[in-house]
Structure 1
Amino acid sequence: MQITLSALYRYPLKSGQAQVLRHSLVSPEGLALDREWMVATPEGQYITARTHPQLVLVKAEPCDSGITFSAPGMNDIFTPLSAFAAQQQADVWENTFSARSGAQELNHWISAYLEQTAIIMWTGLEPHRRVKNHPDVPIRFVDGYPLLLISEGSLAELTRQARQDFSMLRFRPNLVIRNAEAFAEDQWRRIRIGEVIFELVKPCERCVLTIIDPDTAEKSPQQEPLRTLAKFRKFPAGVLFGQNMIARSTGELRLGMAVEVLD
């Protein structure tokens, strides 16, 4: 049976709510507008839902001129890109690079929501960060790689072992594929979707973010699904689920496209 692209997700705000897409431009940087914004301390140190679970409920809607944020209990706020007028150093996983800040009204908004002083940063039009060991690949505010692929079969196997259902969004993939056997993606090195070739460069090590319900921001008291994953997906590199990828060209992705395994 033909393997196909069954879902596309982007997260304009790092740790924020997913946007469900039917199509998207993809480039070596990742899906268009994915993780272009990030919550940080005033010094530029990244803040995520690992420590602030309520971030998963923040909705970000970018447009050509700016971005609108909404969150429970807060008024919506539109911020033009021009408001990010200051250059500032950002830090993601001890990787320091130049980004944009200075949107004071937005900073007050996110500080009120988190009940602590914080800012929202923008990568700017040209990211100044690169993938570790891949100096030719620019990235935005992702943890380490521009794209994450997971198969429906892998989630189905997790569901079977845990004996309960989990939303794919707990794992924050960009691309989801159908009709592949569970964890078949672990063996792939390169795939083609449309005109774009992707390299699968590193398994994704999972963390406590997976135990946060993306619909409620509540943490699982049983530490699920991380607890079940650790029983059958624990390797020397950690608890692994999904594959980090790099697109080697720019092209359009649409749901239903065929996925060709090259090697």
Structure 2
Amino acid sequence: MLELDKDKKVLIGCLASSFIFYHTARQIYSYVSAKSREWVPIGIVKGLHIYPIKSCKPVDVFAFKCTKLGPMMEELEDRVFVLVEESTGKFITARQKPKLVNVESYMTDGILEISVPGHPKLSVDLKKVVENGRTIRATLFDNLQQDGYDCGDEVAKLLSDYIEEPNYRLLFSKEGLYTERTCIPDDQWWNTPVPKRKDNSGFTDLAPFLIATEASLKAVNEKLDKKVTMRNFRPSIYIEGCAAWDEDKWAEIRIGEAHLECFAPCTRCVLTTVDPEKGEMSKEMQPLKKLREFRLAPEGKMSKAHKDSPVFGVYAGTVNEAYIHIGQTAYVKYKPTVF
């Protein structure tokens, strides 16, 4: 009889524990589900950057407009220029020529102003460039091709001499030119919708916006002997105030009236090892080497696609166009799981 009572007590205890576990699990699931449907304030905008020439120095701005084609402020547009080899059209970046990160540019009144260290500023009249009508077909990532207007001999010589390579031309992207960049290849991402790209949106790598956070930068620097800056990671939008790697869980982001959809983590390459001040690549391959120790893509489709390319930041596209500025609060909707 005593044994029977003991068994009953054990059974009741097990049932009670199961109930508590089930109830707790449901609460956690409900919380996560609710959180993913709500706009949650996570921090403020600390920096905004536009990169007129692909792989070159950014223009730091107080505000820009989030558009379908990327960040824009007055005549400044993101990555509408690229440097290519004349005969092949193959583009070149700071991955091959690190000193490109010190090429400065600005656009105003239809004039591109460009300068390299040790040389006076050079001006290119973009109206004349378009009127001249000479185009070159650029070969971009995944061998996709896109036309751009040739910006002329003077700027071509300046940049070719600077990178110490002959026959490089600066191209200007404009709506209406030929492009094969209709979408991002499905095999590059996990199971999320792939945004359409038939838009002549400049010479961007993969997406109009790259967003990174101060806390994630700090988490990387805590593991490095020689600290790096956010310029090593070249974001469009830089946010402070949230937890490290919080961006892994973002589904959408809202800043003022601007609404962006986060659709892919940003996998990193040797460009992160280029010192943004010296224009030299790190001999220690940092911070890329350290990131590979703890920020590789999770096992599965992403891991197979990206292999040893670590994750830092998130790519986003525009849902609702609007201006944003430094100091604004950023709100996000969360996904149930990271990535």
Larger Rg: 2
Q: For the Cα contact (< 8 Å) 1:131–1:145, is it kept in 2?
A: no
Identify the residue that residue 119 of structure 2 maps to in structure 1.
Answer: 74
Q: Does 1:34 align with 2:34?
A: no
Identify the residue that residue 241 of structure 1 maps to in structure 2.
Answer: 312
Identify the residue that residue 158 of structure 2 maps to in structure 1.
Answer: 109
More strand by share: 1
Q: For the Cα contact (< 8 Å) 1:87–1:98, is it kept in 2?
A: yes
Instruction: Measure, in 1, the Cα distance between the counterparts of 2:109 and 2:50.
Output: 16
Instruction: Measure, in 2, the Cα distance between the counterparts of 1:246 and 1:137.
Output: 14
Instruction: Measure, in 1, the Cα distance between the counterparts of 2:47 and 2:182.
Output: 26
Identify the residue that residue 118 of structure 1 maps to in structure 2.
Answer: 168
Alignment of 1:144-155 (within 5 A): 144-155=206-217
Q: Does 1:254 align with 2:321?
A: no
For structure 1, the 5+ residue unaligned runs are: none
User: TM-score with structure 2 length normalisation?
Assistant: 0.74
Instruction: Measure, in 1, the Cα distance between the counterparts of 2:144 and 2:110.
Output: 28
Q: For the Cα contact (< 8 Å) 2:174–2:202, is it kept in 1?
A: no
- Give, as a single letter, the amino acid of the residue that structure 2 aligns with 1:95: L
Identify the residue that residue 46 of structure 1 maps to in structure 2.
Answer: 91
CA RMSD of aligned residues (A): 1.7
Identify the residue that residue 294 of structure 2 maps to in structure 1.
Answer: 232
- Give, as a single letter, the amino acid of the residue that structure 2 aligns with 1:167: T
> Displacement, 1:98?
2.4
1:25-46 C-alpha deviation (Å, 9 max, x unpaired):
1201111111111111103211
Q: Does 1:89 align with 2:134?
A: no
Identify the residue that residue 65 of structure 1 maps to in structure 2.
Answer: 110
Instruction: Measure, in 2, the Cα distance between the counterparts of 1:14 and 1:102.
Output: 14
Identify the residue that residue 9 of structure 1 maps to in structure 2.
Answer: 49
Q: For the Cα contact (< 8 Å) 1:207–1:226, is it kept in 2?
A: yes
1:109-168 C-alpha deviation (Å, 9 max, x unpaired):
211212222000011255754441322563211111111000101001001122432110
Q: For the Cα contact (< 8 Å) 1:38–1:141, is it kept in 2?
A: yes
1:51-107 C-alpha deviation (Å, 9 max, x unpaired):
011101100111131201100122321001022432332221111122211512211
- Give, as a single letter, the amino acid of the residue that structure 2 aligns with 1:253: I
Identify the residue that residue 195 of structure 2 maps to in structure 1.
Answer: 134
1:173-221 C-alpha deviation (Å, 9 max, x unpaired):
0001111100000001111111111111111110001111010011111
For structure 2, the 5+ residue unaligned runs are: 1-40, 185-193, 298-302, 335-339
- Give, as a single letter, the amino acid of the residue that structure 2 aligns with 1:109: L
Identity fraction in percent: 27
Indicate the SS of the match to 1:244. strand
Instruction: Measure, in 1, the Cα distance between the counterparts of 2:83 and 2:317.
Output: 24
Instruction: Measure, in 2, the Cα distance between the counterparts of 1:167 and 1:136.
Output: 31
Runs of 4+ in structure 1 off by over 3 angstroms are 125-131
Instruction: Measure, in 2, the Cα distance between the counterparts of 1:137 and 1:5.
Output: 29
Indicate the SS of the match to 1:262. strand
Q: Provide the aligned length of Structure 1 versus Structure 2.
A: 263
Q: For the Cα contact (< 8 Å) 2:259–2:321, is it kept in 1?
A: no
Which segment is superposed worse, 31-40 or 126-135? 126-135
Instruction: Measure, in 1, the Cα distance between the counterparts of 2:212 and 2:42.
Output: 16
> Displacement, 1:249?
2.4
Closer/same/farther in 2, CA of residues 254 and 126 from structure 1, 3 Å limit: farther
